[in-house]
């Protein structure tokens, strides 16, 4: 069946915005957009007057095994593998309904995200596209160690990376520094060394995979960048030298602005461990300034939330986009960061990430234009995954033909 949605505002994902235009889908693929789509006939034609179409969104940093409770580490510790698997599915459905058609899951105990990914790709269940890291690789006692793979030294980290790749990981997740949620570690302190991370990066490259580093402190970020890491997660303490290094190496920043924001907003709730509150409050302002400096300097940015951390629930991707806008990013650039740049970072931009002929038909219909009101990212009318409507609001669009 050929479906045409016409009279819409359309953001392609590559920085282009088209007015009063069309998108045509056949099966799982985009048949045409823009003027070519306007001319094509279709089995079903839907009038999208007043609506805005954007590519399906990518949340580049999620934890599907965490619900956004005050102490997610305790939640993970109390789960069985089966319960965690159910949690992955429920949280993924929340992501999908919010317009996120692809997630990069950066850390799941027992590599459950990889089995969940396979269950979706095999057709056992419906869900977003999942790009998983399995268990993250950390130094002994490093950030997130209770549900990660502990490894030390170049040989130890190399072996851990090979084992994770054997399990089917799409991306290798490494802990370059301490973090907010783990007690007894400093977010600014380096953990895995440059040489240790380089060993893992080499193994990932040999397998055609990408890498991500949890990296908050300046020295650890620099270690990760020099090691050849694909993405820096969080990037809280960025100075000019570090930003220049990221530009030189082409490193992508995934800022996860929502993560400290929600901890600070709920600091008095009593549900978040005191050590996490203190560290998040200490990091909050400098994180914002680091993002602004990286943006101004031209660092490549992909959008990610760290969903699953305290009060940072799945299905609230819009908050990250709102914060990016509040801190100075233009709407078109935000859409690119959440679509095509994310797809490029995952090396899937030939088939996904933008609304172009021949690409997979993952797209979202919004009730309003986010350039007119940034809250439009919350006003989801419908979500299409591989050409199929997987979520729709109560107000259905009118079919004018078919």
Residue with tokens 């990066």: 201
pLDDT value at residue 102: 98
- Alpha-carbon distances, residue 291 vs 130, 219, 285, 300, 325 (angstroms): 26, 17, 10, 11, 11
* pLDDT tens digits, one per residue of 74-83: 999 999 999 9
Residue 354 contacts residue 55 (beta carbons within 8 Å): yes
Q: Is the pLDDT of residue 251 over 90?
A: yes
Q: Is 287 helix (H, G, I), strand (E, B) or coil?
A: helix
Record: fold of 2-56+353-401? Urease, subunit C; domain 1 (2.30.40)
Identify any residues that bridge with 57 across adjacent strands, giving them in sequence order.
100
pLDDT value at residue 402: 52
* pLDDT tens digits, one per residue of 263-287: 999 999 889 999 999 999 999 999 9
pLDDT value at residue 6: 97
* β pairing state of 380-385 and 388-392: antiparallel
Residue with the bigger pLDDT between 57 and 180: it is 57
DSSP 252-279: EEE--THHHHHHHHTTTSS-S-HHHHHH
- Between helices 240-249 and 218-226, what is the axis angle to 10°? 20
Domain 57-345 has CATH 3.50.50.60: no
- 354, 375, 372, 349: which is closest to 364 by C-alpha? 354
Q: Is 156 helix (H, G, I), strand (E, B) or coil?
A: helix
Residue 249, Cβ neighbours under 10 Å: how many?
Answer: 15
Torsion sign (Cα): 173, 179, 185, 186: positive
Split at pLDDT 50, 70, 90, the class of 247 is: very high
Mean of pLDDT values over 303-316: 98
In eight-state DSSP terms, residue 141 is: T
pLDDT value at residue 50: 96
Kindly compute the dihedral angle of the four CA atoms of residues 348, 164, 219, 141, in this order, to the nearest 10 degrees: 150
* pLDDT tens digits, one per residue of 5-17: 999 999 999 999 9
Q: Is the pLDDT of residue 124 over 70?
A: yes
Q: Is the pLDDT of residue 115 over 80?
A: yes
Mean of pLDDT values over 296-307: 98
Mean of pLDDT values over 128-143: 97
* pLDDT tens digits, one per residue of 335-364: 999 999 999 999 999 999 999 999 999 999
* Average pLDDT of every residue of the chain: 96
Torsion sign (Cα): 385, 386, 390, 391: positive
Residue 93 contacts residue 315 (beta carbons within 8 Å): no
Q: Is the pLDDT of residue 138 over 60?
A: yes
Q: Is the pLDDT of residue 2 over 60?
A: yes
Q: Is 324 helix (H, G, I), strand (E, B) or coil?
A: helix
* β pairing state of 57-62 and 100-105: parallel
Distance CA 38, CA 95 (A): 31
Q: Is the pLDDT of residue 401 over 70?
A: no
Torsion sign (Cα): 75, 77, 78, 84: positive
* β pairing state of 399-401 and 52-55: unpaired
pLDDT value at residue 246: 98
Two tokens, residue 246 = 């990221």
Distance CA 69, CA 309 (A): 7
pLDDT value at residue 183: 83
Residue with the bigger pLDDT between 279 and 257: it is 257
Share of the chain above pLDDT 70, in %: 100
Mean of pLDDT values over 383-400: 90
Two tokens, residue 200 = 């893992």
* pLDDT tens digits, one per residue of 184-234: 888 889 999 999 999 999 999 999 999 999 999 999 999 999 999 999 999
pLDDT value at residue 153: 98
pLDDT value at residue 395: 81
* Per-domain boundaries in the chain: 2-56+353-401, 57-345
What stretch of H or E contains 103? strand 100-105
């Amino acid at each position: 069946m050929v479906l045409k949605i016409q009279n819409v505002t359309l953001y392609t994902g590559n920085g282009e915005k088209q007015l009063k235009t069309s998108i045509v889908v056949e099966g799982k693929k985009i048949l045409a957009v823009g003027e070519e789509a306007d001319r094509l006939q279709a089995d079903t034609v839907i009038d999208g007057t007043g609506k805005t179409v954007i590519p399906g969104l990518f949340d580049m940093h999620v934890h599907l095994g965490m619900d956004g409770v005050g102490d997610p580490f305790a939640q993970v510790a109390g789960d069985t593998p089966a319960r965690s698997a159910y949690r992955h599915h429920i949280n993924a459905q929340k992501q999908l309904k919010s317009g996120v058609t692809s997630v990069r899951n950066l850390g799941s105990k027992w590599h459950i995200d990889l089995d969940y990914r396979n269950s979706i790709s095999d057709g056992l269940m419906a869900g977003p596209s999942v790009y998983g890291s399995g268990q993250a690789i950390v130094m002994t006692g490093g950030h997130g160690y209770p549900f990660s793979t502990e490894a030390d030294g170049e040989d130890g980290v190399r072996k851990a990376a090979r084992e994770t790749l054997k399990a089917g990981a799409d991306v290798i997740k490494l802990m370059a520094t301490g973090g907010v949620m783990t007690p007894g570690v400093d977010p600014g302190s380096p953990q895995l060394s440059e040489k240790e991370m380089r060993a893992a990066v080499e193994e990932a490259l040999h397998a055609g995979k990408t890498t991500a580093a949890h990296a908050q402190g300046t020295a650890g970020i620099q270690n990760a960048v020099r090691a050849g890491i694909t993405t820096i997660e969080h990037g809280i303490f960025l100075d000019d030298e570090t930003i220049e290094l990221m530009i030189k190496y082409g490193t992508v920043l995934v800022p996860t602005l929502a993560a400290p924001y929600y901890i600070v907003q709920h600091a008095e709730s009593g549900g978040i461990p005191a050590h996490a509150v203190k560290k998040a409050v200490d990091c909050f302002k400098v994180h914002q300034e680091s993002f602004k400096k990286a943006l101004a300097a031209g660092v490549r940015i992909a959008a990610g939330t760290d969903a699953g951390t305290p009060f940072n629930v799945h299905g609230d991707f819009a908050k990250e986009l709102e914060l990016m806008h509040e801190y100075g990013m233009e709407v078109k650039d935000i859409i690119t960061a959440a679509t095509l740049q994310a797809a490029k970072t995952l090396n899937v931009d030939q088939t996904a990430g933008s609304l172009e002929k021949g690409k997979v038909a993952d797209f979202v219909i919004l009730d309003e234009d986010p350039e007119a009101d940034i809250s439009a990212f919350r006003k989801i009318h419908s979500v299409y995954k591989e050409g199929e409507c997987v979520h729709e609001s109560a107000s259905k669009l009118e079919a004018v033909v078919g």
